[in-house]
Amino acid sequence: MDNPIDFPRLRFAEVFPLQNGSPKSFALRDPSGIAEDIIVLSGEALFFLQYFDGKHSLLDMRVAYMRQVGRMMDESRLRQIVDELDRRHFLEGETFDRHKAGLVARMMAEPARPAAHAGQSYAAEPPLLRQQLDGFFQHMNGAGMPAPANGATRPLAAVAPHIDLRAGGPCYSHTYKALLEAEPPEVFVILGTGHSGLHHLYSVLPKDFDTPLGIVRHDPSFISNLAANHAGEILSEPLPHRQEHTIEFQVIFLQHFYGGSASPLKPLEAEQGKHPFTIVPVLCSFMHLMRDDSRFAREKALIDNFTAALRKTIAEDGRKICVLASVDFSHVGPRYGDEAPPDSMFMSRVTAADQDLLAAIEKVDADAFHGAVARDRDRYRICGYAPIYTLLAATEAKVGKKLKYDRAVVDNQNSIVTFASAVLY
């Protein structure tokens, strides 16, 4: 370290207990992926992290520890914890700033944003990926094979899941069937959940996306106009896009079907051929409190300004544009903080709450959607609040249609994620 840190400040990170460990141990993970390692912490080290707020000195922490356990920790041991967290980029400061600047420079120098989840959540080999995507339509819970474009009304906006394709792939197919059977859009504004958080609430990535099926082009002119119409900053936080899956999963569907790749869906391609399109990749990250709590006046202004700017940019553009929200709904069970696995009675309440959200989407009512989340203080942890609110507040659509609602068990403790597909006209 160049300079010892006497008042350490921990960056936003996730802490979770490790199941196999005696004495009890914990893991520290950076959801943004900037700090790439997962650090194992003792319960003793975890105690000190509550004071890593930039305001407490190492002596303050040692005194607090003595009051708690009756003995003083040696300063060198505490310094070792601080130095290790700093070296691994979990603390704010010069070490982290240099590391982050290097990551940004390398990312923006790349010709396209690489496919981060190919070979994990979906097949990396083009033939297998095409087969996988088509198979979601043919699945018993899928939408069925899309017919050639038949003059159906073109959706102005849509909602699709962002859960791992292996868990929710068939639900995606309902959104894309509705899109494929209508006049194809020229621009897709993809609003993805930013799971790692954003200081400016919105982040637009002005880069192409690489996929196993080819390059998907971003739309520089739309992004430039959006940035000009928005009073806030939308281009200064590219790193959360590096590992985020919520936009990437939609991009592979778009490239497969609109990019004209070889596919078993020959009748569709023979009728439609290739349909050039561009994307506007937007991550959204804010909670419902930022809409109505006076402590978040800055954030409320940013949300209102961005949704107005997006609506204005779409209206001024003149092309066929679809706003696509990549979202999931409820997250319940031990994995997400509930004490017990959800039983049937609990899941009936979850389903009812989700249906209230979908009813607001069908009414294209941003205030009703917000109210449904805020009413129970987001009890069921709606992952897609920010993108859906943004979509509903920005779209010119007048009516929505729910297409599919589903759920998936995501661990051996019966933790559950719910998700849905919908289109708006």
In tens, the pLDDT along 266-314 reads 443 433 456 889 999 999 999 999 999 999 999 999 999 999 999 999 9
What is the architecture, at CATH level 2, of domain 113-424?
3-Layer(aba) Sandwich (3.40)
pLDDT of 20 reads 64
pLDDT of 17 reads 81
pLDDT of 130 reads 96
Q: Consecutive 10-residue runs of the chain (425 residues): their mean pLDDT? A: 79 83 81 90 92 96 95 94 96 96 96 97 97 98 90 94 97 97 96 95 98 96 98 96 97 90 40 77 97 95 98 97 98 94 97 98 98 97 97 98 98 96 98
Counting Cα atoms < 13 Å in the Cβ hemisphere of 349 gives 10
pLDDT digits (tens, 9 = 90+) for 302-324: 999 999 999 999 999 999 999 99
Backbone angles phi, psi at 329, to 5 degrees: -110, -115
The residues of the chain that CATH labels 3.40.830.10 are 113-424
Instruction: Give dist(CA 152, CA 228) in Å, integer.
Output: 34
Give me 361's structure tokens: 């989407």
Backbone angles phi, psi at 393, to 5 degrees: -80, -20
Instruction: Give dist(CA 11, CA 89) in Å, integer.
Output: 9
The pTM score is 0.89
pLDDT of 272 reads 46
Dihedral, CA of residue 63, residue 67, residue 68 and residue 73, to nearest 10: 40
Instruction: Give dist(CA 88, CA 209) in Å, integer.
Output: 29
pLDDT of 151 reads 78
pLDDT of 252 reads 97
**What is the chain's alpha carbon radius of gyration, rounded to the nearest angstrom?**
23
